[in-house]
Structure 1
Amino acid sequence: MFNNIPPITKNIIIINIVVYLVSNFLYTDLYNLLSAYYPFSPNFHSWQVITHMFMHAKLGKGTGIMHIIFNMFTLYSFGPILEQTLGEKKYLILYFLSGLGAFFLFNLWNFVEIQQMVSDLEHLGLNPAEIFTKANNNYTGSLEISANTNEGVELSQNLYNALKSPMLGASGAIFGVVAAFTTLYPDTKLMIMFIPIPIKAKYIMPVVIIVSIALGVTGNVGGVAHLAHVGGALVGFLLASNWRKHLYRFN
């Protein structure tokens, strides 16, 4: 069965599995190096914009192995059809641009929230640079902070967590793939967990996006980067909408 998967989808799945095994069993520091931190965090590196798409939740933590299983199963379900429809080049463009769109939208919202924290700390007479220094993964000094009020401590902790918490996973790129599939094949009926009847793709995706936006704006429930999903889906929709006009060129 695996041999029947077209090459780009197959190689993406293989790379994700290999990186997952290496990062969990051989070199756990890859999580700090390859996951994507907030661009102004001391832990950010330029390559993380791409490499975060191949990282998934640590084994036994959070969603654990189900994170990569769900993502790879979704890619396996939708990717081959799109790869055959669009061709390898455009499919690869779709995948990685969707992942970049996820990174951009997620961190655009992060920027708004973090700037508000910085402003609030400065209003309290505190220096946010102190938190940026202590949030560095390589920092080994004291974690004591100058804040001495409940508000200052809470803001400092929130900023620290934001700078230390990376986004990771192929979900943004895969949401782009699913959104592109929905755009090109809107009347395809899909079976959804816990719903006993098949539903057309064009009805499912808008609901998923609306829910993701609501959850992303109100807070990333359960550590899920909902706005990253929205960013990936938006890119997938835009690309597929444009390419749909010229599908005959791909066949």
Structure 2
Amino acid sequence: MGRITDAVKHLLIINVLFFIATQLLGDQMYDLFSLWFPKNEHFQLWQIVTHMFMHGGFMHILFNMYALWAFGTPLEQIWGRNKFFFFYFSAGLGAALIHTLVNYYYFNEGMQALLNAGFNQANIMDIISQGKFDTAWQNAIPQSTLQNFLGAYMTPAVGASGAIYGVLVAFGMMFPNAELMLIFLPIPIKAKYFIPGLILLDLFSGVTGFSVFGGGIAHFAHVGGAIFGFIMMWYWKRNQFKNNRWD
């Protein structure tokens, strides 16, 4: 992992440039390049890709870029630049798809609950399109349903984490006995146990709403990236493409 490989280097540079631009321009960057819910007025098709280069803060980009370097470099050394790019963006797009599908479920669940409670759909859409909500909704439907509904519509997704989770899965399948550690749990754990455990923790957090890593995390995007990463690795292994370089 000494030399930074070409694809990893270019991804690092683009992410850093986006982060600097975000610090300079703020909300304008988030409005344009984060992944918004498709029914939100801020949504644009290019956000399916550009959200992978957006980050919410310094620690967010630091952890993601460290993981990209640490786990992506050995994969690119084996696969070559083009195959790594294909895998990385496919995992990121898969993460965006799963995240958006889950948000559609939350949005439709919340909307139906509000309609059943007697509220008008046009009025609901008018309120949330302004980034607001009616306090009467709090007493009309379950709090978790309301939070998921508002979060799905109003909160954009940012970060390379979905693609990174795909990379983690690939690394774990190719180097299952490599020993990894969490910063707050300095105990070496083999990748074949560590990475599935991390994904299950994200799945648990996504389903229950309880996150040991804090709030504001798109857990289902992580799970989506991992699923698509696993599917690609399984397909490549089955068709004996895993060790072929795409130079």
TM-score bin (small chain): 0.7 to 0.9
State how many pairs are aligned.
Answer: 240
CA contact (8 A) 1:8 1:92 kept: yes
- For 2:133 and 2:111, the matched residues in 1 are separated by 18
The change in CA–CA distance for 1:122 and 1:248 in structure 2 (over 3 A counts) is closer
The answer for the alignment partner of 2:176 in structure 1 is: 186
SS of structure 2 residue aligned to 1:167: coil
Structure 1 distance, partners of 2:21, 2:201, is 34
- In structure 2, C-alpha distance between the alignment counterparts of 1:242 and 1:235, rounded to whole Å: 11
1:172-209 per-position Cα deviation (integer Å, ceiling 9, x unaligned) = 00111111111111122223324444221101111111
How far apart, in 2, do the equivalents of 1:129 and 1:150 lie? 20
Distance 1:118 1:190, change over 3 A: same
Segment of structure 1 superposing worse, 188-197 or 209-218: 188-197
> Where in structure 2 are the equivalents of 1:52-201 lying within 5 Å?
52-57=51-56, 64-136=57-129, 139=130, 145=134, 147=136, 150-151=139-140, 159-201=149-191
What is the percent sequence identity of the aligned residues?
40
Aligned-residue RMSD, C-alpha: 2.6
CA contact (8 A) 1:184 1:240 kept: no
User: Which one-letter code corresponds to 2:102 in the other structure?
Assistant: W
- 1:183-239 C-alpha deviation (Å, 9 max, x unpaired): 111122223324444221101111111111110011274111111101001111121
Distance 2:245 2:220 in 1: 31
| Aligned residue number for residue 61 of structure 1 | none
Taking a change above 3 Å as real, the CA distance of residues 144 and 22 of structure 1, as seen in their structure-2 partners, is closer
Q: What residue number does 1:202 align with?
A: 192
Quick check: 1:238 aligned with 2:231?
yes
Note if contact 1:183-1:241 (Cα within 8 Å) is conserved in structure 2. no
Cα distance, 1:94 vs structure 2? 0.8
- For 2:245, the equivalent position in structure 1 comes to 250
Unmatched segments (≥5 aa) in structure 2:
none
Q: Which residue of 1 aligns with 2:221?
A: 228
| Alignment map for 1:44-55 (pairs within 5 Å) | 44-55=43-54
SS at match of 1:78: helix
TM-score (norm 1): 0.85
Is the CA contact (8 Å cut-off) linking 1:35 and 1:48 kept in structure 2? yes
Residues 148 and 23 (structure 1), Cα distance of their counterparts in 2 relative to 1, 3 Å cut: closer
Q: 1:10 to 1:46 in 2, by over 3 A?
A: same
AA at the equivalent of 1:168: V
Q: 1:160 to 1:226 in 2, by over 3 A?
A: closer
Letter in 2 for 1:122: L
